[in-house]
Amino acid sequence: MSEKMKRTKEPLIRTVKIAERSKRETMKLRVIAFAMALLAGGLFILLIGFSPIELYGTIISGAFRSKMAIQATVKFMIPLLISSLGVTLAFKMRFWNIGAEGQIIMGAICSSYFALFHSDWPHALLLAAMFAAGFVGGGLWGLLPAYFKSKFETNETLFTLMLNYIALHIISFLRDGPWKDPGSSGFPKIARFEANAQIDKVLGVQFGWIIAILLVIVVYVYLKYTKHGYEISVVGESQSTAKYAGMNVKKIILRTMILSGGIAGITGMIQSAGSDMTLASSVAGGVGFTAIIVAWLANLNPVSILWVSFLFSVLEKGSSVMQSTYGISTYSAAVLQGIILFFILGCEFFIRYRFIVRGKGGVRQ
């Protein structure tokens, strides 16, 4: 009787955390996962009646086939890269900032104020003001949940998530009311920025890409070589340790969230003034959430983030070409992207954990 009880208690499959896998093993798992993703995606493509090899080829050629294509791929990459860097700062600290979306929007709103109402300022001054406004807007929106967390122990996951929706509705409010384009004959929209308030292009792409690359370096150095960066990782490992070492944990959390939100806010400024050329409700458009995936896939390493966000952009740009070339519906393309992501993300699980199947026969002691 007692043995029977014990038997039912042991699950058929258990997951066990793996201390560490060798680099080789990790690499092998990733390659297998990628191959399986292509295979499963290929099956799906066959099911909807196309040739997998042709379609995969189109995705890659669609992202690189010409100068314009490469420029568009880079354009996809800029917001994703910058906001991934932003959330990384928070995640390093084990602060679950899933509010990058809202921080991007607030950055965009604040910088748009200058773009819409001070477009007569000298170009460089205007862009600098917009840049600073973007940082401040996003930073304050990130500071809010951090303040409540450090003061009242609120749940930052829910707090940051909810702030996303508030930010989104602020755009709708501005669009339908105070910032409505007077020349739009009754239709609700915000005016397009004047050329003076638009970000200049370098090599055919808005110079946000230069800022993005600079930020990769800055965030890398900040996390790896500065006292602040060290404090962030200690707080992330254990707040008690940090306190014991005499660190001001509250201050570190507040400071880091201003930076995390601020970088997301820069995304908003760059996306609105460099790509949308207006304040659109789609300015974040899910990038703030994708950034979370990118940051974790890259193990919170800024340099890896550069590559991962690049691969994401290739997939995004390539699928768009694939859709129109083969007349595939947007939904099918989304399914295909989902399948590929599923395997790649699933692989991370197997890198960190393994299954132990309950032994046949006796019960393990």
Partner 1 sequence: MKKFISILLTLLLTLSLFTACSSKTEEPAKEEPTAEKPAEATGVLPAIAKEDIKIGVIHIGNPADGSGYTFAHDQGIVGMQKALGLDDSQIIRKNNVNDTDPTATETAILECIEEGANIIFGTSWGYMDTMEALAEEYPEVIFSHGTGYKGNDANFNNYFGRIYQARYLSGIAAGLKTKSNLIGYVAAMGQDNSEVTGGINAFAMGVNSVNPDAKVYVKVTNSWFSPEEETNAAKALLAEGCDVIAQHCDTPNPQLEAEKAGAFGIGYNSDMSKDAPKATLTSAVWDWSAYYTWAVEQAINGTWTGENYYGGMKEGLVDIAPLNESIVAEGTAEAIEAARASILDGSFNVFDGVIETNDGKTVGEEGKTLDDATITNDIKWYYKTVTVK
Looking up tokens 């860097």 gives 85
By beta-carbon proximity to partner 1, the closer residue of 164 and 278 is 278
Query: Of residues 61, 119, 150, 154, which one binds partner 1 by CB under 8 A?
Result: 61
User: CB 173 → partner 1: shortest distance, Å?
Assistant: 15
Query: Of residues 6, 7, 14, 65, which one binds partner 1 by CB under 8 A?
Result: 65
Q: Is residue 22 a contact residue for partner 1 (CB under 8 A)?
A: no
Residue type (1 letter), 255: R
How far is CA 354 from each of CA 93, 303, 347, 348, rounded to the nearest angstrom? 26, 28, 11, 11
3-class SS string, 253-278 = HHHHHHHHHHHHHHHHHHHHHHHHCC
Query: Of residues 29, 60, 129, 254, which one binds partner 1 by CB under 8 A?
Result: 60
Nearest CA to 195 out of 114, 110, 119 is that of 119
Strands 353-357 and 201-202: unpaired
Question: Site residues for partner 1, window 321-360 (CB under 8 A)?
Answer: 321, 323-324, 327, 329-330
* Binding region for partner 1 (CB under 8 A) out of 63-71, 127-135, 136-144, 292-300: 63-71
First to last CA, the chain: 17
User: CB 201 → partner 1: shortest distance, Å?
Assistant: 11
**x/- site string to partner 1, residues 226 to 265, per CB under 8 A?**
----------------------------------------
CB neighbour class for 5 (10 Å; exposed up to 12, middle 13-18, buried from 19):
exposed
* Binding region for partner 1 (CB under 8 A) out of 6-14, 95-103, 124-132, 317-325: 317-325
Q: Is residue 278 a contact residue for partner 1 (CB under 8 A)?
A: yes
By beta-carbon proximity to partner 1, the closer residue of 35 and 217 is 35
Query: Of residues 66, 226, 248, 299, which one binds partner 1 by CB under 8 A?
Result: 66
User: CB 2 → partner 1: shortest distance, Å?
Assistant: 42
3-state helix, strand, coil in the chain (%, to 5): 75, 5, 20
Q: Is residue 49 a contact residue for partner 1 (CB under 8 A)?
A: no
Q: Taking the C-alpha atoms of 165, 166, 168 and 171 in order, what is their torsion angle to the nearest 10 degrees?
A: 170
Cα 115–chain centre separation: 25
Looking up tokens 């393990």 gives 364
Q: Is residue 280 a contact residue for partner 1 (CB under 8 A)?
A: yes
Binding site for partner 1 (CB under 8 A): 31-32, 34-36, 38-39, 42, 52-54, 56-58, 60-61, 64-66, 68-69, 72, 75-76, 185-187, 189, 192, 271, 275-278, 280-282, 285, 317, 320-321, 323-324, 327, 329-330
